[in-house]
Amino acid sequence: MDADVFISLSHFKGHEMTGFGGAIKNIGMGCGSRAGKTEQHSNGQPSVDESLCRGCMRCQKECANNGLVFDKETKKMHVDLEHCVGCGRCLGACNFDAIAFNNNNAIEVLNRRMAEYTKAVIDGRPNFHISLIVDVSPNCDCHGENDAPILPNIGMFASFDPLALDQACADACLAATPLPNSQLSDNMAHEGFVDHHDHFKNSTPESEWKTCLEHAEKIGIGSREYEIIVVK
Ligand code: SF4
Ligand code: SF4
C-alpha cells in the first residue's frame, strides 16, 4: 500500500460471522483486494438445510456472486459451490436458520486472516483509528436488509492501537443494555434462550469474535489492555 500514514474511521456494529465489525475488520477486509477479501472468506462455504428452507428466496437477493440457485420444483434453495465465495451474507439473510457453514472452523480462520491483513496494512507506518459506536446494527453494513440497532448509541472511541480500540468498544457494548424490539432482545425473549453472556453472540449465536482479538495480539498488532480517557 502506498501511504505514509494510515487513519481508519469505522462504524462499530454487529456482524453475522465475526460478532462485531470494528477497526480490525474494517482495515483487514476493507483494504483487502477483491482477491484478498475472497481469500479471507475462502475457508467456508455454506449449505442449505432443505428441511428448514421455506423457499422465500431472501438469501438469493443478498448474494452478489450467483452462489444460490432456487429449485422451482422442490421450492428449496441450493448453494452453487462453483460460484459461492464464502462471504456469509446469505447466513444473515435467512430468518429460518436454514443456511450454515459446512466448515466449523470457517469463522475462526476468517478472524485470524482479518487480523493478518490488518497487520499487513498498518505495519511500519504511523496509524490512528476511530470507531463510532452508533446505530449498532445486528449485521454488517453491507446487508441491505439490516435490522434495528441492538444496542444504544455509546459514542466515539479513538486510539493509536486498533486492537485496544476494538477491545474497548466490545467491552463498552457488552456492558450496554440491549434495545427492545431488536434481534438481540427478541432472541433473549425466545423460549429456550441460551445466554452466552455476550451481546454479539446472543444476537447471532453462530458468530465468534474473540479469536480475532487473540490472534491480533499474538501477531503483535497491539494490546487488549487499555485505559479509557474520557474527552468531553
Ligand atoms: S432465506 Fe432461508 S428460507 Fe429463504 S430461501 Fe434462503 S435458505 Fe430458504
Ligand atoms: S456465502 Fe456469499 S457467495 Fe456464498 S452463497 Fe452465500 S451470499 Fe452467496
Q: Which ligand is nearest to the CA of 143?
A: 2
Which one-letter DSSP state was computed for residue 173? Answer: H
What pLDDT does residue 119 have? 97
Cα(68) to centroid(ligand 1), Å: 10
What pLDDT does residue 146 have? 75
Residue with cell 422442490: 74
The counts of H helices and E strands in the chain are 9, 9
Tell me the three cell numbers of residue 205.
449465536
Establish how many alpha carbons lie within 13 A of residue 98's alpha carbon, considering only the half-sphere containing its beta carbon.
23
Consecutive 10-residue runs of the chain (232 residues): their mean pLDDT?
A: 93 94 96 80 83 95 92 96 84 84 80 96 96 95 82 98 98 98 95 95 94 98 97 87
Mutation choice for ligand 2 from 69, 85, 142, 143, CB with most ligand atoms inside 8 A: 85
Q: Please tell me if the CB atom of residue 88 comes closer than 6 angstroms to any atom of ligand 2.
A: yes
| Closest atom of ligand 1 relative to the 48 alpha carbon | 7
Question: What are the residues facing 79 on neighbouring strands?
Answer: 68
What pLDDT does residue 199 have? 98
Cα(214) to centroid(ligand 2), Å: 27
Shortest-distance Cα residue to atom 2 of ligand 1: 94
Domains of the chain: 1-44+104-232 (no CATH), 45-102 (3.30.70.20)
Tell me the three cell numbers of residue 47.
449449505
What pLDDT does residue 178 have? 97
Residues 6+ apart with CB under 8 A from 71: 77, 78
Shortest-distance Cα residue to atom 6 of ligand 1: 59
Cα(87) to centroid(ligand 2), Å: 5
What pLDDT does residue 105 have? 74
Work out the burial of residue 113: count CB atoms within 10 Å of its CB; fewer than 13 is exposed, 13-18 middle, 19 or more buried.
Answer: buried
Alpha-carbon span 96 to 81, nearest angstrom: 21
Establish how many alpha carbons lie within 13 A of residue 45's alpha carbon, considering only the half-sphere containing its beta carbon.
13
What pLDDT does residue 138 have? 94
Alpha-carbon span 177 to 13, nearest angstrom: 15
Q: Please tell me if the CB atom of residue 55 comes closer than 6 angstroms to any atom of ligand 1.
A: yes
